[in-house]
Chains A and B, each alone.
Chain A
Amino acid sequence: MKSNKLSLRILAVVFLMAFLNPFQARGQEKLVESYQAAVWFGVRDVNRDSFPNTENLDFLNYLYSDSEMSDYQYLGVSLHLCLRGNWEADIKFAMYDDFAPNNFSFSALYFPFKHIGFNAGFFSYPQLMNEFNMFHRLTDAGYYGDIDNNFRQRYVYESGIMAGPVFRFDYHSFHAFIKLNGGMSSISTFKEKVNQKEINTNKRREIRYSTKASPAFFFFPEAEFNIDLYKGAKTTVGLQALASWYTVSRSIDYTRITYTWEYDEEVNEDIINPKHGFKKVEASLGLYFRW
């Protein structure tokens, strides 16, 4: 929720600044030489390792992944600023069907050469984690694995900082960027609770999970292709296509406290889970306006 509010504020400020153009100093060279705003529709497919159940709940087994269709669809807006002195800035926001702009990435690009530059930035996007309580329902024989009968679902946010080389190609109306990003990311920490009752007895148990930060190195190449469809005196309209691939290997480790009968009867454990391979492929198509 906090992340949503923050994203909305950043989004509002960025677009306000862009349209009011406060960087244009009087009598001096423009700080922002050109703008490119875009709207696009994208799909995201997630592929993660799924391991057999062990004695410990592995939350990464419950990251949402659908083998039959793309896992997420989103609507995005972006702003690309070409700044003075070979600098560029790229700001992207996207939202799922809940219309919360909680997918975002910011990056700064510097081009010391015509076709080669450097990129650095950060990103964050949410993923669904569904029915992790099924672990307890399946493995805790003799117990009602989770007395909460609701569909248990939560968002986890993957956030990271990235940097890498950028290659740019321009040929008439065709423009392309290829970014070879790498960096470090982590999944947001969270707390969950599972209440259990032994079948045919009075015995009750409460299991509390508190996850730890899960920093891991990732590789994240991106490609962006733009084709100018209409060129006016000051404005250009074109078609934009983006594709990216993201790969990381990480585990979600946590502290587990198990209370049995009463809250002063507790067992505290630190659980280290195996690393899961995680891959994300994204593709999007949209329109851009450059001025």
Chain B
Amino acid sequence: MKHYLRILAIISIAFSIRVLQSCCSCGDEPIKFDFSSVIIKNLDNSGSYVTFTDANQMYSSAVAFEVSITGDMALVGNAMKDFSLASFAEANACECSTSYSPNQTIKDISITTLKQMSAETDSGMVVTSLFVTEVADGYLYEPLANAFERLNQEIYSDDPTAKLKIFCKENILNDTACFAVTVTLSDNTKITAETAKILLTASK
């Protein structure tokens, strides 16, 4: 009988510890951040599905990139220390996911070609209308401007980043391609990044 009582007591203590541990609360307040940089990755859209690629080589009709508009992680880290060290520690103890809230919204995305694309589209021209992005609930594309609503979220989970895949509709008649992507924020700040210099192979 004593053995049973001991085993029961040990099991009860173990469960009590687990219950207490699960009672910790995650901080509700998201960490505020500023969008501060644009990171561009190359996409390979030659196959049936789009994938990331490190190679700076694309087909002339399959030029595609992922544009990440992101808050500076160092700044975000400082904000976390200054703003809610206690809640961050608490959140870590609870294995809470961190959420981020931007101080600005994305107002506009503009793409400028840095290389001649065709006889009509010279270097330095704004070519935003030649790019599209994937729709949220379907297979096809939509203009970049349609994506701002879903790009601008009140809360970003795990990562202070808004991501957008952009696809060029034109067949580029050049051996190389390079673009500058400029993001205009609601406080009229402009942040710009350039794509890598892409070597083009004719699609057809």
Give residues in A with beta carbon < 8 Å to B: 144, 147, 195, 197-204, 206, 259, 261-263
Contact = CB atoms under 8 A, between A and B. Distances in A.
B139 A202 contact: no
Given A261-B141, A262-B141, A202 B167 contact: yes
Given A199-B46, A200-B46, A263 B59 contact: no
Given A144-B48, A261-B140, A262-B140, A201 B62 contact: yes
Contacts of B203: 200-201
Nearest to A194: B139
A200 B61 contact: yes
Contacts of B49: 147
Given A261-B141, A262-B132, 16 more contacts: A144-B47, A201-B61, A202-B45, A202-B61, A202-B63, A202-B64, A202-B167, A202-B168, A204-B140, A206-B139, A259-B140, A261-B169, A262-B140, A263-B135, A263-B140, A263-B142
A147 B132 contact: no
B185 to A, nearest CB: 27
Interface string B32-58: 000000000000011111000000000
A206 B59 contact: no
Contacts, number: 52
B110 interface: no
A261 B134 CA distance: 10
Majority secondary structure, A binding face: strand
Contacts of A144: 47-48
Nearest to B139: A195
A199 to B, nearest CB: 7
B171 interface: yes
A60 B132 CA distance: 37
Contacts of B64: 202
Nearest to B64: A202
Contacts of A203: 61, 169
Nearest to A145: B48
Nearest to B131: A202
A198 B142 CA distance: 17
A147 B204 CA distance: 20
A201 B172 CA distance: 11
